[in-house]
Structure 1
Amino acid sequence: MSKLVFLDLSGNSFHGNIPKEIGNMTKLQQLSLSDNNFFGEIPASILNLKELKTLDLSYNSLSMEIPIDTGNLSNITTLDFSNNNLTSTIPSSIQKLIKLETLYLQNNLLTGDIPSWLFDIKSLKYLFLGGNYLAWNNKAKVTPRCTLFVLSMRSCVLSGEIPDWISTQKTLGILDLSENQLEGTFPLWLAEMNVNYIFLSGNNLKGFLPPYSIQQLSKFKSSFSISEQLLWRTAKLLNISHNNLYGRVPASLGDLENLESLDLSYNNLSGSIPQSLAKLQQLTILDVSNNKLTGKIPIGSQMDTMNNPNFYANNSGLCGMQIRVPCLEYLSPTKPPKVESKETWFSWEGVGIGYVVGFFVAVGNLYLIGYFVPTKPPNHRRQQRRQRI
């Protein structure tokens, strides 16, 4: 097997240590052992695979450190050590991987600062570091030489403000900094970028959300007030749930004519649900639960079908047919009808008819129980007496 170029053993039930002999397959260009039950350390012999372009050891139970000499894999373009139990810091030798385009290290037990030299790898396009105990050095000056498409640092221990060096990544399509300890306000430069998906949920950001395009906001999650100036036309799904959004639900959301799903749950939104949402002909899901909304739930068109009470739960001031809670306007006394005289005549006519009918019914009942039995002839009475004697 010394001439083997491609080896994919992923998705099996292999267990134990990765065999050291795998380092003898020096012609290998792609090696995948992912989604197995391998444990122990990554064998140093694997670093003998100088022709390797793709190395995927993800979804195992590998532990110990990432090999110090990982940088010897000089032809590597994709390195995936994610979803293991790897510890210690990111080895500095990785900066020697001048062809590296994709680095997956998420969901391990890595610690320390995110090294600034990572962003000096010119070829790097996809960087996944989330789910570790990694922080960044807020005092370090970072001048990236890479051009990132994806930057994911979800669920690390990032703190401080969102670093402005990210603004240099003009090709960035996905930015995930959610579930960290970031503070400060939403940076204006981020609103000016063409990022398609921004995840900032689970941080301590505050302030007002600047005008933004729907493609970004549809995946945007953080603590802001929804601006009335946000008018987006093409979105089909808008999910900004589980944040600290405050203020009123903008009536302008009713202009999202293609919207099929709107999730505003678990925020601090107040006021009423705008009637403009009834204009959304494509809407099939509306979840505004766990807010501070009040007033009547709009009716008409698709809103009449939004009758799942769970989607309105924990808004103590809401009412409407969708949740079978009557609004006060339905409980107030109604005005006298215009045909009052006719109804009055009909009522008294009914009383009169009822009196006559009731009289004859009463007489009939008395007759049946014996109060109006006709008197028998005298002779008949004499016969009854004789029989008794």
Structure 2
Amino acid sequence: MGNRLSGPFPKVLTNITSLTNLSIEGNNFSGSIPPEIGELINLQKLILSSNAFDGKLPAKLAKLVNLTDMRINDNNFSGKIPDFIGNWKHIQKLQIQGCSLEGPIPSSISALTSLSDLRISDLKGRGSPFPPLLNIDSLKTLILRNCLIYGEIPEYVGDMKKLKTLDLSYNNLTGEIPGSFYKLTKADFMYLTGNQLSGSVPEWILERNKNVDISYNNFTWETSSPIECPRGSVNLVESYSTSANKLSRVPSCLKQTFPCSASPSQYKYSLHINCGGKELNISGVAKYETDREPRGASMFYPGQNWALSSTGNFMDNDIDADDYIVTNTSALSNISAIQSELYTTARISPLSLTYYGLCLMKGNYTVSLHFAEIIFKNDRSFYSLGKRIFDVYIQGELVLKNFNIEEEAGGTGKPIVKNFTAVVTRNTLKIHLYWAGRGTTGIPARGMYGPLISAISVVPNFQPPTVVGKRNYLVVVVVAATAAIVIALMVLGIIWRKGWLGGKISAEKELRGLDLQTGIFSLRQIKAATKNFDAKNKIGEGGFGSVYKGLLSDGTVIAVKQLSSKSKQGNREFVNEIGMISALQHPNLVKLYGCCVEGNQLLLVFEYMENNCLSRALFGKDATHKLKLDWPTRQKICLGIARGLAYLHEESRIKIVHRDIKTSNVLLDKNLNAKISDFGLAKLNEDDKTHISTRIAGTIGYMAPEYAMRGYLTNKADVYSFGVVALEIVSGKSNTNYRPNEDFVYLLDWAYVLRERGSLLELVDPDLGSEYSSEEAMVMLNVALLCTNASPTLRPTMSQVVGMLEGRTAVQDLLSDLGFSSINSKFKALVKHFWQNPSQTISLPSNGPNTESSGLNIEAEERGHLLRVSSVQSEV
């Protein structure tokens, strides 16, 4: 173990069939794991952590049925976590951290009832619900960190009474903290950091002397909130919902983005911190503030100029009190004695370490991060074998991936400074260091891994004013007051929303025969909630009927879709929507609460979406409708749509093609999370095969060419539509309404021209100014163009899109298929003709496989740019 041996896995070991323990941790072995290792059926312990192995885990590992301890952390494997882990019935310790495997966690894990230590972290791939752990009641350590898990935390987790460490941080968990967690009296550490948990924070969390971190969530504190951020064993920083940002009684440290609470006259222009050390005045450089706050596994320290948040405890070191500040006893090389003092100490964290620069004047800054590896050594001792790797984010942007101080500095005990430019737009600078499961954890000793930093300096890239006078202060106040009024007007306008669906139907018996996974509402309940469908509660008119806002007797706000009596076409769509949506649960899909079927009244009851739809947010005609969406919000919305579609296409029990993805079918909740609406027009695609749709329904500007022209429908039609929506999110312009000149029908056409010119960033919404990442914008724009490829086979799947947007996989090269150029040309000609003759019916020849001679009858409706196409048989 830890001898820095290199080369492929030593196959000679696979001949020792009597082996019971095999540990090659902390070396530099590379290549794939040989399948022959599966012949070592007597193995009880197999530790392969901290090497450079790649490839898929061989299927023959399933034969190692006597395993009790398996660790494969910190490698470069590919593929998913295999189902065969369910064969390891005797396993007690399973660690899969930072090894590049993809989720989801297989359901076969439920068979591992002997587990006492389960650690899985930093998975790739797409999201999944909470893994089935109901029958595993012997767990003492449960770590499922950054595993892309969504949905609510199961109540049964609170029944795992032996738990001492619970880490569910950095997932997409929603809902409230389960009430059963109160019973976890033996849990010394509980990390729920970085999720979307909501509701009130249980009182017992504040009362118990346990290390609990619930920072970076969306709690509401409906009954009461702390008058200040606790500084003990509970970390609550940025734990409050965005709705609290306007509440003066809530401390700023609880609010999202940690807003400045000082007056503009108190804003600062620089910051210097000696991390883990004493106050230090370096002549001619700066005065570095002291950072000697006591240690803690869930610590928050609010200073006057900066704040600190630290999460995590060092595992397996058998030490009651961890050290979060380390000291160097030898002088550093190639540096003056006074500057060497800056690297005498450092702050370290086993998981997450965040520094906040508070109340900085808005503008561009140079952020200098000072590092030196002062724990590991350059000698030939065991202390030379450690490897520290972590990630660094500034203002939410990943700036250092798999950062290794020793490698970057050229050895241990050598300082290195990494400089970055950061834009401060809301007076707060956020520097986040995160351990993603990489590097050694037990070499040279337990508890020597995780992010380490020696000092931070922040200086402005602009000339700061010498004095902030009364006149300047008055200008700031006037501007702030004006902004507050505009925001207030926007909030008043956001309460309106728009809905879809309706139609006449008499299929009450058929609907009641469906196996619904939702509730049935009475007409009396709906009438009471909507005040008898009062016109004042009408919030939208969809293509199939009206939508009303309602309030149930328990206080739940709902949206009621009333099927219109104008169209018989609504019958089947309504039945399909009920049957499908009732089985679908995903954070990025609008939730169906239930339905109402009485006589000829057919109603759908959905969750109410406070911020209406993406179309209004992006293209609203006035300030009361259009929202000011900053760049992180646009990213979140785009990724949310992608995750929702990936679920519909690949993860749900029934494979669904939406067929009408557009901005008006993407709704926004109170936190501006994107949720896909209107599955009533979706086409079931159960066998996942290409097929011809005899009725094409979509919206011009969003429809894929092969679908509009030939009726070929696959999930790649949705991918195309998503690409158009992504383009609109970045540009803030409507694909159908933006025409730079008469030669271009769509915004999409213009995007391809700009791409050829190498000036794709010209598409970025001017309203963003400079407050966006050009690198991230290029990723979104290139992904959008990939999705809108004329050839459906060259478009990525939505799970691949999610991977590219999350930065886990590189953006693919844009290719073209000449075989589809004619279809694309006909489609563009059709659309151009539509723009010139919006009321005309057009027929184009089509060579469908089921007709000797056929055509597509296309009725273009100017209002809403709805394009309906139906297959028409021609007589020969």
Q: Is the 8 A contact 2:83 2:107 kept in 1?
A: no
Change (3 A) 1:163 1:287: farther
Secondary structure of the corresponding residue to residue 121 of structure 2: coil
Q: Does 1:28 align with 2:19?
A: yes
Scaled by the length of structure 2, what TM-score is found? 0.28
Q: Does 1:45 align with 2:36?
A: yes
1:105 to 92, 96, 108: 96
Q: Does 1:69 align with 2:78?
A: no
Q: Which deviates the most, 30-39 or 126-135?
A: 126-135
Return the alpha-carbon distance in structure 2 between the equivalents of residues 139 and 265 of structure 1.
Answer: 28
Letter of the structure 2 residue corresponding to residue 214 of structure 1: R
Q: Which deviates the most, 67-76 or 221-230?
A: 221-230
Aligned ranges for residues 160-179 of structure 1 at < 5 Å?
A: 160-179=151-170
Q: Does 1:219 align with 2:213?
A: yes
Secondary structure of the corresponding residue to residue 84 of structure 2: helix
After superposition, give the CA deviation of every residue in 1:298-348 in whole Å (9 maximum; x if it has no partner). xxxxxxxxxxxx9893299xxxxxxxxxxxxxxxxxxxxxxxxxxxxxxxx
2:201 to 187, 202, 209: 209
Aligned ranges for residues 316-355 of structure 1 at < 5 Å?
A: none
Change (3 A) 1:21 1:12: same
1:11 to 2, 22, 40: 2
Structure with greater strand percent: 2
Structure 2 residue aligned with 1:189: 180
Q: Does 1:313 align with 2:358?
A: yes
Change (3 A) 1:55 1:139: closer
Return the alpha-carbon distance in structure 2 between the equivalents of residues 179 and 139 of structure 1.
Answer: 13
CA offset at residue 100 of structure 1? 0.2
Secondary structure of the corresponding residue to residue 113 of structure 1: coil
Q: Is the 8 A contact 2:198 2:220 kept in 1?
A: no
CA offset at residue 64 of structure 1? 0.9
CA offset at residue 164 of structure 1? 3.0
Structure 2 residue aligned with 1:151: 142
Q: Is the 8 A contact 2:260 2:358 kept in 1?
A: no
CA offset at residue 33 of structure 1? 0.8
Structure 2 residue aligned with 1:276: none
CA offset at residue 217 of structure 1? 5.2
Return the alpha-carbon distance in structure 2 between the equivalents of residues 107 and 199 of structure 1.
Answer: 18
Change (3 A) 1:267 1:228: farther
Q: Is the 8 A contact 1:82 1:108 kept in 2?
A: yes
Secondary structure of the corresponding residue to residue 114 of structure 1: coil
Change (3 A) 1:141 1:75: closer
Q: Is the 8 A contact 1:202 1:222 kept in 2?
A: yes
Return the alpha-carbon distance in structure 2 between the equivalents of residues 37 and 60 of structure 1.
Answer: 5
Return the alpha-carbon distance in structure 2 between the equivalents of residues 13 and 140 of structure 1.
Answer: 36
Structure 2 residue aligned with 1:275: none
Gaps of 5+ in 2: 263-292, 295-300, 308-354, 362-876
Letter of the structure 1 residue corresponding to residue 80 of structure 2: T
Aligned ranges for residues 110-121 of structure 1 at < 5 Å?
A: 110-121=101-112
CA offset at residue 193 of structure 1? 2.7
Percent same amino acid among aligned pairs? Answer: 27
Q: Is the 8 A contact 1:290 1:315 kept in 2?
A: no
Count of residue correspondences: 270
Letter of the structure 2 residue corresponding to residue 25 of structure 1: I
Structure 1 residue aligned with 2:513: none
Return the alpha-carbon distance in structure 2 between the equivalents of residues 288 and 100 of structure 1.
Answer: 50
Return the alpha-carbon distance in structure 1 between the equivalents of residues 130 and 250 of structure 2.
Answer: 39
Return the alpha-carbon distance in structure 1 between the equivalents of residues 115 and 173 of structure 2.
Answer: 25
Letter of the structure 2 residue corresponding to residue 314 of structure 1: C
After superposition, give the CA deviation of every residue in 1:154-200 in whole Å (9 maximum; x if it has no partner). 11211122233423322222221211222222222224433322212
Q: Is the 8 A contact 2:134 2:157 kept in 1?
A: no
2:237 to 237, 241, 249: 241
CA offset at residue 23 of structure 1? 0.7
Scaled by the length of structure 1, what TM-score is found? 0.58
Letter of the structure 2 residue corresponding to residue 79 of structure 1: M
Secondary structure of the corresponding residue to residue 95 of structure 1: helix
After superposition, give the CA deviation of every residue in 1:276-298 in whole Å (9 maximum; x if it has no partner). xxxxxxx866547679xxxxxxx
Q: Is the 8 A contact 2:130 2:149 kept in 1?
A: no
Letter of the structure 1 residue corresponding to residue 215 of structure 2: K
Letter of the structure 2 residue corresponding to residue 205 of structure 1: L
CA offset at residue 270 of structure 1? 9.4
Return the alpha-carbon distance in structure 2 between the equivalents of residues 228 and 192 of structure 1.
Answer: 23
CA offset at residue 27 of structure 1? 2.5
- Root mean square deviation, CA, Å: 3.9
Return the alpha-carbon distance in structure 2 between the equivalents of residues 225 and 65 of structure 1.
Answer: 44
Change (3 A) 1:214 1:229: farther
Return the alpha-carbon distance in structure 2 between the equivalents of residues 114 and 236 of structure 1.
Answer: 34
Return the alpha-carbon distance in structure 1 between the equivalents of residues 135 and 125 of structure 2.
Answer: 19
Q: Is the 8 A contact 1:162 1:187 kept in 2?
A: yes
Q: Is the 8 A contact 1:144 1:168 kept in 2?
A: no
Letter of the structure 1 residue corresponding to residue 7 of structure 2: G
Change (3 A) 1:288 1:35: farther
Change (3 A) 1:186 1:154: same
Letter of the structure 1 residue corresponding to residue 33 of structure 2: I
1:82 to 57, 63, 73: 73
Change (3 A) 1:85 1:141: closer
Q: Does 1:198 align with 2:190?
A: yes
